[in-house]
A and B are shown apart, each in its own frame.
Chain A
Amino acid sequence: MMRKSSIVLLLPVLLCSCVNHKTNAMFEFDSTQVDEETTLTFHLVVTSISKTDFDNANGLNVLEDVVEKNNYYFITFTKIDSGSNIEKLDFYNLQDMYPNTKSQPVTYIDDNENEIGPDSNQFSCTFFIQYNGKIIIFKEKTK
């Protein structure tokens, strides 16, 4: 009877969907992507920085990894048009989009609702960026 009641209690929790998907830690990255639709070129560089550099940046183009704490990163995101004009695209105060759950992979969102999210597996590393409504996917093979 004890076992039966335990399982009655367990079953709903065992069925619980959406547990820990927040495992996508940040990583250093350098990739270029050409948008076929607009022929614009996007360049993304993610570099590891110190806590001091993070603090001194005052939220401009920096973030703290929420998966692997105490790791800090600087983001350089640029757009290059057909005339080779370079425009720097900034992120302001990137934060975890859903800080109260681990059910979602971490995506960082800034004050202007622009987003950046890392993803990697044993074969490739990917960064997702949504900037002013446009989605750009950077993917690099690791093997």
Chain B
Amino acid sequence: MILLNALLALSLISSPNNNVNESGSVYNHLTLAERTFITTNINSIVQDDTLLPYFMNNPQSNSISYDESDIPDLLESTYASYTWSQTAYNTTASTTGNIPVNVKNPYYTSAEIQQAITLSNVSSTYGGCGPLAMTGMLDYFARYLGYNEIIKNPGSSEDRIQLLVDVLTKVKTYEVGFGNKQTLTFPWDYSTAFNTLMDQYKINAFLQSNYNFQLFGGNRDSNWNTVKSNINSGMPVTLMTGLFSGDGDFAQHYTNILGYSTWTGVDENSNTISKDFIIARLNFANKTDIYYCDADILGDGMIGLITYSANSSNTSRFGAVDFAEEFVNSQGGGQYFNIEKGAPVTFLSNEQIQTYRLRTSYIENQYLVMSPNRANCGSAYLEMIFNHSVSSMTFDISLWGPNENITGQSLYTYYYDGTYWLMYESITLSDLSTNKANPSRKHLSFPSDAVGVKFYTWHTNPSGDYNRGRVCLDNFIVRY
């Protein structure tokens, strides 16, 4: 029956979605590497006389892939003689402060996905769970880790659609079936596409993916340890489940694992047992929460784990607090000096940069602020010169508040090529957050000769006895 289904599906399969105009069987569409992989595994398959019966008899109707988000209820009903408590729990949020978003809702809505499918000119009914899982991961790296080369503004629908287009056109995906469309993405194609996109965004030196596909399963503990170590370092893991993953929400699907949980049960004789769960985004439109699944699914056959590695060696991170020692007056208080001040600044990371500033200070023991608007003033700037190149800078920026009198005020960024400061991009002040507790996030990519960055703001009609036009900066990420 499976064979009949397979042949039927093969007869209806489309070309891969990345505009490859081919005909014939799936096998004809595979790359040499993919054919080699299959051929290599086939040799072991045909030597294993138990495999075909396993293919035929392994039931799809098992609960291994169910959404088990009601864990206490599940454990109490399954192991009634035990008293359960959660003994381990972690998510990527403990390291990065965040977890991946759910794709389809509230971001990357069905309308955005449909528009991206049209723009990509790919054959896809709903995007495919592999490409959508990758979209969630790329969004995570951009939205929370500052890799805004991927998507400049995750809050912009237009930018989200562009990211979807990038993904849909790069991930080789097959659409199978007639009437009921199903999609197929190989984990090695997923990983290759991710790394190709990193090349395209010019951050391949910083972000890479690797895949581990296990046809026969049996690697539950190894996979569990892989998941835990990645989560503990703030890196989600993408899980692909295949045919033997049952019929639950996690079955035959790509999900982004963002955490794990272990529960331990104790019975009246003090015997203990434990159950492990993965925590993931399902990327379904109607399931926008986080969902738990029995970690034993990691021991199934046809499991793909895609892991991500971020190289932080060429990344410099600093914030307003790093300027606390130097950007104050002799009493240690904030002061907007009306003459240029130059000072080396040593970050908490021990990196040292050279700075020059005008009417820029560390204020209220918390904020790095430029203030150009005051009578007889009119300009404020902050120059930062690094001991290395600056390929990009991501940072938080906001106005001090809603009443900063910014009419007539401009803000430009410059980069330093070692000799001159060159005007680069303007930042529209009226677009910035007026809530410094919830600032706007900006990203700048600089030419290869950039070694310094300058923020320069000026007011055409400075007035008043108070410091106004205040712009707050924080949470810088510089890659070089």
Contacts and interface: CB of A to CB of B under 8 A. Distances in A.
25 contacts: A4-B42, A11-B42, A12-B26, A13-B10, A13-B184, A14-B242, A15-B184, A15-B242, A17-B130, A21-B249, A21-B253, A23-B247, A24-B286, A100-B179, A101-B181, A101-B182, A103-B126, A115-B105, A117-B286, A118-B286, A119-B286, A119-B287, A122-B77, A137-B289, A141-B73
B252 interface: yes
Given A117-B285, A117-B286, A135-B106, A3 B46 contact: yes
Interface stretch (B1-9, B134-142, B257-265, B326-334): B1-9
A61 interface: no
B3 A10 contact: yes
Interface in A91-107: 97-98, 100-107
Contacts of A97: 110, 285
Given A6-B3, A103-B183, A121 B66 contact: yes
A102 B9 contact: no
Contacts of B377: none
A24 to B, nearest CB: 7
B146 interface: no
Nearest to B286: A117
A121 B41 CA distance: 37
A76 B464 CA distance: 57
B180 interface: yes
Interface string A14-29: 1111111101100000
B42 A16 contact: no
Contact of B251 (A19, A101, A121): A19
Interface of B: 2-3, 5-7, 9-10, 25-27, 30, 38-39, 41-42, 45-46, 52, 55, 66-67, 70, 73-74, 77, 105-106, 109-111, 125-126, 128-130, 174, 176, 179-186, 240-243, 247, 249, 251-254, 284-289, 302
A105 B287 contact: yes
A121 B3 contact: no
Contacts of B286: 24, 105-107, 115, 117-119, 128
Contacts of B251: 19, 21
The 8 A-B residue pairs whose C-beta atoms are closest, nearest first, are A117-B286, A123-B70, A107-B285, A123-B73, A128-B286, A12-B26, A107-B286, A13-B6
Classify chain A's interface size: 35 or more
B6 A14 contact: yes
Contact of A130 (B9, B26, B106): B106
B38 A13 contact: no
A133 interface: yes
B6 A101 contact: no
Contact of A104 (B9, B74, B106, B285): B285
Contacts of A63: none
Given A9-B26, A17-B252, 17 more contacts: A7-B52, A9-B10, A10-B3, A11-B41, A12-B10, A15-B184, A16-B183, A16-B252, A17-B241, A21-B251, A97-B110, A103-B126, A103-B129, A115-B285, A117-B287, A121-B66, A124-B70
A118 B285 CA distance: 11
A103 B182 contact: yes
A130 B105 contact: yes
A109 interface: yes
B149 to A, nearest CB: 28
Given A100-B179, A143-B73, A7 B240 contact: no
